[in-house]
Structure formats: structure tokens, C-alpha cells
Structure 1
Amino acid sequence: MSEFGIESNHSTETHKQGSAGDSSFKKRLGIFATCVVGGSLVALYAVTGPFIAPALRKVCLPFVPATRTQIENVLKVLKTRSGSLVDIGSGDGRIVIAAAKSGFKAVGFELNPWLVWYSRFKAWREGVHHNTSFYISDLWKVSFSEYSNVVIFGVPQMMEQLEVKLQTELQSSAKVVACRFPFPTWTPDDVAGEGIDTVWVYNAKTFKPPIRNYKDSERPN
């Protein structure tokens, strides 16, 4: 009788220990699974966040790679130009790199950091990294006053606002090339290409307000 009782107590104790062990294992497994899922979500956001964030802005500037013909048209209308060039929304850097190969000191501004890092690598691989620079920045927070040539692949929703910005910031000697969509109120000085490859060329002196020279008697009080 006593031996049976001892065996029963021993079996009960073993069962309790087994249940406690299973519970502890399940708890650790649950914590591990939570960490894996949480880490995966953080990694997913880190990768996709820069792509999604621009789409959530008031004005969306999606990444649509420039075609070879578009690049050729841009360089064609700027063939007599020199100096600095900026690509607003430079994407994967192909306009900036092509401009650098044509002799420009070229700069790209892009909100998506992954595209900026890729552009820098591509410029290094193409051997033009000394004549190119790529920055992660919102175009509305950058001044373009120092650039003599401006290239923009915009969308209709932003062009009117961009008109005001460029009209205010650019020097009268600057030239602007709009790809895919023209500016709504400016009159282009030249147009090249057709269809989606069309580019519109604007000389800043035609859209900059004239600077009036006042005589002493005409100066405002």
C-alpha cells in the first residue's frame, strides 16, 4: 500500500514537472515568435517605407524611369549649355549620370534613400562619381538658385506650385527642361520629341518678372 502511494505521488510530481516544463517552453516559444514577427514588420517598414511615404504626401512624385529617348532629348536641348545641372526627383540617377558624361557638374535630389544609394553606386560604377552628387531631400525644402540648368520629371498636380518656386529662385540665365508634363502657364521656348518622350524647354528670362530700374523721382517712398 505504501509503495503504491509513493509511486502515485512520484507520478503526480513528474506530471506536474512535465506540465510546468511544457508551459515554460510554450512561453519561450511565444516570446520568440513575437520577436520574429515584430522584427519582420520593422524590416518590412524599413524597406518599403521610403517607397510608400512619397505616395502619402500631398503631391505624389512617383518613380518612373526615364527612357533612353527622353534622356537623349534632354541632352539634345541642352547641348549648347554648360555649368551645373540639377535633376529634381532624380530617381535612379540616369539623367544625372548622362549629364555628367556630357560635361555637366550634375546633382540629383531624391526623397527615396534607396534610389539615392543606388544612384551613387551606379555613378561610381560608370566612373562619373567625381562629377555627380545625390542628396536625400524633399524638393520643396531645397533652393535651386545656384543651378543654371534644371530638369524635372513632374506630375500635373505639382507643376503650378513648382513654377512659383523656380520663378522665385532661379537666375535669369537659367534654363528649365520639363519632361512628360509641361508647366501650366509658362510658354516654352523650344519643344523636342513626341508622346511621353516630349520635353519642354523654358528660358528663365522669359518667366522671371522684369527688374525695373527706378529713377530717383520714381522710387517708392
Structure 2
Amino acid sequence: MIPVRTLAAALLASAIAAGSAAAQTSAPAATPYVPQVGQQGKDVVWVPTHEALIERMLGMAQVTPADYLIDLGSGDGRTVIAAAKRGVKALGIEYNPDLVALSKQSAEKEGVADKASFVHGDIFQTDFTGATVLTLFLLPDLNRRLRPTILEMKPGTRVVSNTFDMGEWTPDQTVSAEGACTSYCRAHKWIVPAKVGGTWRMGEGELALTQTFQMLSGTLKTGDASVPVTEARMNGEEIAFKAGDRVYTGRVSGGRMEGRVQGGGAEGAWNATRAGS
């Protein structure tokens, strides 16, 4: 005969086990997180960039596997993942932790988790200055707040924005998506310019430049003659300008410029050093 205490204990254990099993089978499965277009974020609502525009943005940035792309406000991770599929190391900075988790899952599913990574962070508190390509889909006032930091990035860094501009900083290029894209289908690109404003010693002459973002103006003085600098602009570290009937092209590295000059009976090399260097 089974003792009463033993029988009661066995029945109690069986009841607990049965109740636990029933609870497990009746508990609903966790609902996967699905972001909603227009959902509120920290500074903007979430609207995904159309795949067709992403491809145009990456194309106009001329990304290669040698680049490091950072997407500011990366949302569901689609831009970062698209870059990773091109062999590019890419990072997404996103304030919504649910979107960060979703992005990581998507990168795993797409087989690019070794190239695509995501962090939960505030774009105004996270260092993104190591990027060679910067992508963003933010409002104009946020772009303008970021602009001073972007302009301090390495010259030649490519910055591509979905739809919204950088205020007075004129884009170097604007393109539109093709195909099925019906809204937010335009992108702008800027190339961070080297800083060349100031006075440069150029042989026996003096080159004085005024810089507004990538645009330049100024004068080239040789002896008593002074001619205006025209058609002048920066393209990252590359400089081009015209002085009189001579066309100068070259590259800037720190306090030195060097390149080629053509026209006006002159053809050959030129160089300049920043005054005081």
C-alpha cells in the first residue's frame, strides 16, 4: 500500500506538471515587431527609404569595399544591409532599440552580419566621423545641426541625403530614383571640401582665396598684376580654378597645393604653400 503522504505528494506534483504544461501550450507566442510607417521617433517619424533610391544613393556615392559607410537614423537597416551586399563595411546608428534589434535580425537573414552592424544611439551623441560615406534621411533642421560636424570630417567624405538638403551648402549632385518609387525619390550628394580659405604663396606670386563650402573666389597676384580667380571650387581635396586665361587643377594636402596649369602660353606644374606654414 502506498502511504497517504506519498500518494498526496505524487498527485500534487502531477497536478503542478499538468498545469505548467497547459500554461505553456495556451500561452500566446510573442508577436514579432513590425515598424509602422509614420511612427514617431526621437526627432523624426520613421519613413523607409525606397529600395530604388537606396541603390541610386549608393551609386552616386561610388561606394566600394574600401569604404566605411555610416547611416544616421538607420531605421530598419535597409541602407546598411544594401551597402553590405556590395561588400562595404557599414554601420547603422538608430535611436529606437526595437528597430536596432530588427535590423540585426535582417542582417543575419540576408547573410551580411559580418559587414552590417547596428548600434542603439543618438546621432548627436555618437561619433560618426570615421565614415568615408555618410547616408541620412533626416529633416532639414537636423541636417543643418549636423553640418558643422560633417564639414570637419576628412576631405573627400561623401554625404548622401534622401530628399532633404543642407541649407546654404549646395549639393554637388542631385539624382532621382527610377521605377516604382513614388515619394521621397530624390537624393543629394555633397563631398566634404578641404579648407583652403586664406593666403597662399605661389612662386613669386600670392593666391588669396575666400571659401564658402566647396565654392571659391579670390585673386592671384604676381608682381603688380592682380587677376580675379573664377570658376573655382573644391571637390574634396581636389582644387580647380581659372585666373585670367590659365586653368589650374591640383590637389590640396595640409598646407600645400600642387598640380598642373594650362593656357595663356603656360603649361606645366604649379605649387603653393599656405602663408605662415
Q: TM-score range by the shorter chain?
A: 0.5 to 0.7
Residue matched to 1:210: 196
1:184, distance to aligned residue in structure 2 (A): 0.6
Matched, 1:200 2:188: yes
Residues of 2 paired with 1:218 and 1:76: CA distance? 41
- Residue aligned with 2:124, SS: helix
* Higher RCO, Cα 8 Å, sep 6+: 1
Change (3 A) 1:101 1:209: same
Corresponding residue pairs, total: 162
- The 8 Å contact of residues 67 and 88 in structure 2, kept in 1 or not, is answered as yes
1:182, distance to aligned residue in structure 2 (A): 1.2
More strand by share: 2
Residue matched to 2:24: none
Residues of 2 paired with 1:96 and 1:132: CA distance? 6
Residues of 2 paired with 1:164 and 1:115: CA distance? 27
Residues of 1 paired with 2:71 and 2:126: CA distance? 12
Change (3 A) 1:159 1:67: same
Name the aligned partner's letter for residue 195 of structure 2: P
- Please point out which of 168, 185, 202 is paired with 1:185: 168
Residue matched to 1:161: 145
Residues of 2 paired with 1:143 and 1:161: CA distance? 14
Instruction: Between 183-192 and 130-139, report the one with greater CA deviation.
Output: 183-192
Residues of 1 paired with 2:189 and 2:275: CA distance? 39
| Larger CA Rg, structure 1 vs 2 | 1
Deviations 1:106-157 (A, max 9, x none): 1000000000000000000000000011000000011222110000101022
Change (3 A) 1:141 1:125: same
Residue matched to 2:156: 173
1:53, distance to aligned residue in structure 2 (A): 6.3
- The 8 Å contact of residues 94 and 123 in structure 2, kept in 1 or not, is answered as yes
Residues of 1 paired with 2:274 and 2:50: CA distance? 54
1:68, distance to aligned residue in structure 2 (A): 1.7
Change (3 A) 1:63 1:204: same
Where in structure 2 are the equivalents of 1:1-221 lying within 5 Å?
54=42, 60-79=43-62, 81=64, 82-168=66-152, 170-193=153-176, 196-205=184-193, 208-210=194-196, 213=255, 218=276
TM-score after normalising by structure 2: 0.54
Change (3 A) 1:218 1:112: same
Extract unaligned runs of 5+ from structure 2.
Answer: 1-38, 178-182, 199-254, 257-272
Change (3 A) 1:121 1:218: same
Q: Percent identity?
A: 29
TM-score after normalising by structure 1: 0.66
Residues of 1 paired with 2:74 and 2:150: CA distance? 17
CA RMSD of aligned residues (A): 2.5
1:61, distance to aligned residue in structure 2 (A): 2.3
